[in-house]
Amino acid sequence: MPETVIKLENVWKIYQLGKIDLPVLSGVSLEVKLGSFVTIMGPSGSGKSTLMYLIGLLDVPTKGKVYLDGKDVSNFSENMLAKIRGQKIGFVFQQFNLLPNLTALENVMMPMIFQGMPENERQERAKKLLASFDMEKRSHHKPNELSGGEQQRVAIARSLANDPEIIVADEPTGNLDSGTGKIIMDALTKLHKEQKKTIIVVTHDPTIADYSENIVHIRDGQIIKNHFQEAKVLW
């Protein structure tokens, strides 16, 4: 049995809108095993992104516990969380979220800068990463000079900058056409297959969910189905 990297235990996220309590997540429990590929599915507004932010240690729950490698993350300082995000978790967003003033290469180097990697080392690594996504020719372009698919490939390269264990992707193909989306999903599955990365991906596209071995269905902030479908995996 592989070990659990992330565990959510009866997690609630409640926003306060004026006097009304708005629960966005209502008692979610989830375990993500090391090296697994998890798909989270659900309609818009069901709380998928909120869940991803909790998994990615970008947010803290109102109630309940989040464990990383068995440790309660509520005990971690802000600096610790930043460090863990930088080292262990790679993010891919629907809006690509590249830094607009930096080139593709600089964007990929950014996470390494925050970890204090020396200049020549990070330059070399960033170039290699961009090359592995066929983006080396565009490495000196800024995000607004790249297509959506290209930006997302740079974003995936960036998410791998510090060789994280976990990749968290929130609707990575949501802003892409299906052809480009397939390239992105291929890239993610390849990471899972070849580098044994733990991958958690949000989508409401059922064909993409077919890549996955563990599908979590979420609706109105609650997990309604969590099934493992090893038989249907496409690789």
Ligand X SMILES: Nc1ncnc2c1ncn2[C@@H]1O[C@H](COP(=O)(O)OP(=O)(O)O)[C@@H](O)[C@H]1O
Picked from other proteins, Mg ion, ligand X, none, the partner binding residue 87 (CB below 5 to 8 A depending on kind) is other proteins
Asked whether position 175 contacts other proteins by CB under 8 A, the answer is no
Q: How far is CA 205 from CA 9, 45, 215, in A?
A: 27, 15, 12
Q: How big is the site for ligand X, counted in residues (CB under 6 A)?
A: 12
Restricted to residues 35-74, the positions that interact with ligand X (CB under 6 A) are: 42, 44-50
* Length of the chain measured in residues: 235
Round to whole Å and give the CA distance between 102 and 113. Answer: 13
Q: Which residue number, 131 or 224, has a Cβ lying nearer to ligand X? A: 224
Asked whether position 114 contacts other proteins by CB under 8 A, the answer is yes
Q: How big is the site for other proteins, counted in residues (CB under 8 A)?
A: 28
Round to whole Å and give the CA distance between 156 and 64. Answer: 30
Round to whole Å and give the CA distance between 234 and 115. Answer: 36
Strand order from edge to edge, sheet including 222-228: 89-92, 166-170, 198-202, 37-41, 214-219, 222-228
Q: Which residue number, 103 or 181, has a Cβ lying nearer to Mg ion? A: 181
Picked from other proteins, Mg ion, ligand X, none, the partner binding residue 37 (CB below 5 to 8 A depending on kind) is none
Round to whole Å and give the CA distance between 207 and 185. Answer: 10
Find the binder of other proteins among 3, 78, 194, 230 (CB under 8 A). 78
Picked from Mg ion, ligand X, other proteins, none, the partner binding residue 46 (CB below 5 to 8 A depending on kind) is ligand X
Asked whether position 49 contacts Mg ion by CB under 5 A, the answer is yes
Picked from other proteins, ligand X, Mg ion, none, the partner binding residue 58 (CB below 5 to 8 A depending on kind) is other proteins
CB 166 within 8 A of CB 6: yes
Round to whole Å and give the CA distance between 2 and 189. Answer: 19
CB 154 within 8 A of CB 79: no
Contact stretch for other proteins (CB under 8 A) within 34-42, 157-165, 176-184, 227-235: 157-165
Residues that bind other proteins (CB under 8 A): 53, 56, 58-59, 78-79, 82-83, 85-87, 91, 93, 97-102, 110-111, 113-116, 158, 161-162
